[in-house]
A and B are shown apart, each in its own frame.
Chain A
Amino acid sequence: MSWELHNVAIIGGGMMGRSIATKVAQEGLNVCLKEISAEAVEASRAELEKSLDHAIARYDLTNSEKKAILSRIRWVTQFDCAADCDIAIETVQEDFGVKRRILRELDRRMVEDHPIVINTSTLSITELAAQNSCPERIVGMHFLYPVTTTRVVEVVRGQLTTDEVYNRAVEFGRILGKVPIKVFEMPGFVTTRVIMPLINEAMHTVMEGVAEAAEVDLAIKLGFNFTMGPLEWADRTGLDRVLNWMKHLHSESGEPRFRPCPMLKRLVRAGLHGAKTGQGFFTYDANRRRIDRLPDDKPRLA
C-alpha cells in the first residue's frame, strides 16, 4: 500500500515536542500537536513562538518562515487528530507507564500500517510495543535537541518492528533533513551511550580535583573541536535529565561506567539543574547565556 507523508501527529508540546513540531512544519508538513489541556496548549504555543523569535534574532529563520511554520501547526487537546495522520510521534516524559498509555490511544485511532514513533533515549521499544495490539508498527526515533539544527536522528528497530515501518521512519528522518543512524534496541543506543560516560568522567575529573570544571570543559572543547564542553552540555540538557539517563543506563546494563558521579547527584539534590535554573556546573543568566566563561574561552579567528 502506498504511503505518503503529509500529516504528522506529535503528542506532547514540551521542549522536545515543540522542537520536533518546528522542524516538521519547516519542512512543509502539517502538524497536529496534542497537549493535555487548553492551558497547556497556550503555554506551549507561547514557548514555541518565543523560540521562533529567538531563532529569527539568531538569523536562523525569517518572519515569513515563522508565519509559515505557525500556519502548519494545529494545537489540539484530543487524540482524535491522529486518525488523519500518516505518522505519530510521542514526546512525553521518559516514563514507561505514560508512554504505554499514549501508544494505546494512538493505536486505537490510527490507520493500521501508519508508523507510531516513540521518542526515547533509554526506554525499550520492544517492551513498550509488546503492550500494544499492533507492535509491528511501533518504531523508535531518538531526536537530539534542538531538533531544528542537529543533523542526526537515531532510528531504533524494536524486536517486532516491520521493515516497512522501519523504512518509513528512516524516510521521515530524511525528509526532516537528518542523517538517520540505524540502531538496534539497546539502552542509550549510540549517542546517549557514548556521551554519558564522557560526561560522567568529566565530573569525576572535577570531583577528584584534577582541574576546575571550567578548565576541564575548555580542554575538551578546544582539544576535540566540540562546540561546547561536556559539563556545559550537561548543564544545558538539564542535570536532572542527565542523572535520570545515567541511572537508567546503569540499572539496565549494570556497567559501573554508567554509575552517576556523586557530584551530579549532589547538584541535582540541591536543585541546581543547570542552565534552566541558572546554576549547574556553571552560571547562566535568564536567557541561558553562560556568564562565567574563562578569559581564554572566547571566539577567535583561527
Chain B
Amino acid sequence: MKILVLNSGSSSVKFQVIDTDLERMKAHQDNTLATGLVEKIGLSDSRLVLKVPDRKAYTDYREILEHRAAIEWVLRILSDPEVGILDEVTDVGAVGHRVVHGGEAFASSVLITPEVIQQIEECSVLAPLHNPPNLRGYYAAHAALPDVPHIAVFDTAYHQTMPPHAFLYGIPFQLYTKHALRRYGFHGTSHRYVAFRGSQILGWERQEHKLITVHLGNGCSTAAIDHGKSIDTSMGFTPLEGLLMGTRTGDMDPAVVPWLMAMEEMTLHQVNTMMNKHSGLYGISGVSSDMRELVEARAGGHQRADVAFRMFCYRVKKYIGSYAAAMGGVDAVFFTGGIGENSPEVREWALSGLEYMGIEIDRQINDGLHGGEGEISTDDSRVKVLVVPTNEELIIARDVVRVLNGIMPTWEPPETVTP
C-alpha cells in the first residue's frame, strides 16, 4: 500500500510516499518512493521540492497561502505523469501524520476520528506552536483525501512508559493533576526507530537489552530504553529541557527565569525567546547554532566556540552516565540526528573517559563515519556504540499499517499515582 507520510509545520509540509504492508515489513522491504517538502507557505514564492530515487530533484515555485493549497500541490505533483510517482491520487491508500504532542491521552498511534481530533486539540495547550499546524496539515489532507484512513503518530507516545518517579517534577502534586504538568519527552518516533534499527544491526532482541539512544539534531534528546521501554528521556514538559541544543538552553536552574525577569526587566515573551532561540550553542559561542561551523571555529582557536562545544558534549556524557545508573548498566549507545550522524568530534568527546563503563571507541572508524550506519566501538568494547541515521517516516508508515491491521502496540504507563 502506498502511504503518504506528512509532517506539517507552521510554514512547511514535509512529505514522503512509502510503499509498505505487513509482508514488506516482515521482509524489511519497505520502499520509499519519494520524499520532499513545501516550504514558505504563506508567501508568494513558496517552494516545492520532490526527490525520487535515481532521478534529478524537481523544484517548483508558486504562491501557496495555506496548508490546503500546499497538500493539493503535493498530490498534483505526485500524480504528475512526468515528474510524479503515482498513477493517480487515489493510489494513496492511507496518510500518516506526525503529531508532536499526544499528552497523556495517547500512548500509541491511532486512527484519526472526531474524538481523536478533539483530544489532539486539547493537547494544543501543551504544544501551542506545534499541534495546531499538525492539525492544519491533517484538515488539509483530509479535505484532499477524504476516503482514506488518516493515522496520527505522536512524538510523545513512546515515552509514555516512563514511570512517575521519572516523569514528575518536584513541584506540588496538584499542579500535575490540574494541568497534566509533567515530563513527556519528545523525538519518541526517532528514539523508537533507532532502538529498533540499532538492535537489528546487532542481531539483538530489543526486549533483552539496556540501550541509550542519543538524538542530536536541531533539537537534542537522549533516552534510556530498558528492555524495550523508554524509562527516561531528557526532554520534559517542553523540548527545552535536557541537553544543550542549537539555540536552546537545555537544563538550567529555573530560578534564573524570575531573576532575569526582575533584574533585566524582561517580559515572559523575552525570557521564553531567550531560552528557546538565543541560547544553546549559538548563545554561548556567538558564532553559530550549527555544529559544523562551531567545530571549524574552535579548530581556528575561537574560545567561545570551544566552550560551547565542550558544554554540548559534557551534557551528553552526563546523561549517558545517569541513564546507565538508572538502568543498572548499559549494553549499547546509539547516536542519531544531524550531529549524531555526522560529527565524529562530538561522539568522541561525549564518550571520552567512559572506558570504565565499558565504552571504547575505535577512533579511526569513528573519524571515518559521516552519515550512514556503522559500529564505532572497538571489538573489545563491552558496550556497543552505533551510528544509526534516523527514519521517523518509516516508523510512521509502518504504524499506519499496524493501526489498520489492528496490531499497533501501546506503551501503557507501568503504574499509576492516585492523588
Contacts and interface: CB of A to CB of B under 8 A. Distances in A.
Interface in B43-68: 43-44, 65
A290 to B, nearest CB: 12
Contact of B258 (A28, A60, A301): A301
Interface SS of chain B: mixed
Nearest to B263: A299
A3 interface: no
A299 B267 CA distance: 13
A71 interface: yes
A59 B274 contact: yes
B281 to A, nearest CB: 14
Interface in B258-309: 258-259, 262-267, 269-271, 273-274, 277-278
A176 to B, nearest CB: 14
Contact of B262 (A30, A62, A300): A300
A115 to B, nearest CB: 19
A28 B271 contact: no
B266 A59 contact: yes
Interface in A148-205: 149
Given A28-B11, A59-B278, A299-B263, A6 B273 contact: no
Nearest to A61: B273
Given A59-B271, A60-B270, A301 B262 contact: yes
Contacts of A4: 65
B65 to A, nearest CB: 5
Interface in A213-269: none
Contacts of B264: 299
Residue from A4, A6, A300 with most neighbouring chain B CB atoms (10 Å): A6
Nearest to B277: A62
A185 B270 CA distance: 35
B371 interface: no
A301 B263 CA distance: 7
Interface string A45-75: 0000000000000111110000000011000
B165 to A, nearest CB: 31
B65 A6 contact: yes
B273 A59 contact: yes
B42 interface: yes
Given A6-B65, A30-B43, A72-B43, A60 B262 contact: no
Contacts of B262: 299-302
Contacts of B247: 62
Nearest to B41: A28
Given A62-B277, A299-B263, A299-B265, A71 B271 contact: no
Interface in B233-257: 247
Interface SS of chain A: loop
B270 A28 contact: no
Contacts of A58: 266, 270
Contacts of A300: 262-263
A236 B414 CA distance: 58
B46 to A, nearest CB: 12
Contact of B259 (A6, A71, A301): A301
B265 A60 contact: no
Contacts of B43: 30, 71-72
Contacts of B271: 59
A58 B258 CA distance: 16
Given A149-B267, A301-B259, A60 B42 contact: no
A71 B273 CA distance: 21
B265 A62 contact: no
A121 B265 CA distance: 28
Given A149-B267, A299-B265, A60 B44 contact: no
Contacts of B270: 58-60
A30 B43 CA distance: 7
Contacts of B11: 28
Given A28-B11, A30-B43, A301-B259, A149 B269 contact: yes
B409 to A, nearest CB: 38
Nearest to B45: A71
B44 A30 contact: yes
Nearest to A59: B274
A30 B42 CA distance: 8
A58 B272 CA distance: 11
Nearest to B274: A59
A302 B258 CA distance: 9
Interface of A: 4, 6, 28-30, 58-62, 71-72, 149, 299-302
Given A60-B269, A301-B262, 17 more contacts: A4-B65, A6-B42, A30-B44, A58-B266, A59-B266, A59-B270, A59-B273, A59-B274, A60-B273, A62-B277, A62-B278, A149-B269, A299-B262, A299-B263, A299-B264, A301-B258, A302-B262
Interface of B: 10-11, 42-44, 65, 247, 258-259, 262-267, 269-271, 273-274, 277-278
Which 7 residue pairs across A and B have the least CB separation, nearest first? A59-B274, A301-B262, A59-B270, A28-B42, A62-B277, A299-B263, A59-B273
14 contacts: A6-B42, A28-B11, A30-B43, A30-B44, A59-B270, A59-B274, A59-B278, A60-B267, A60-B273, A61-B273, A72-B43, A300-B262, A301-B259, A301-B262
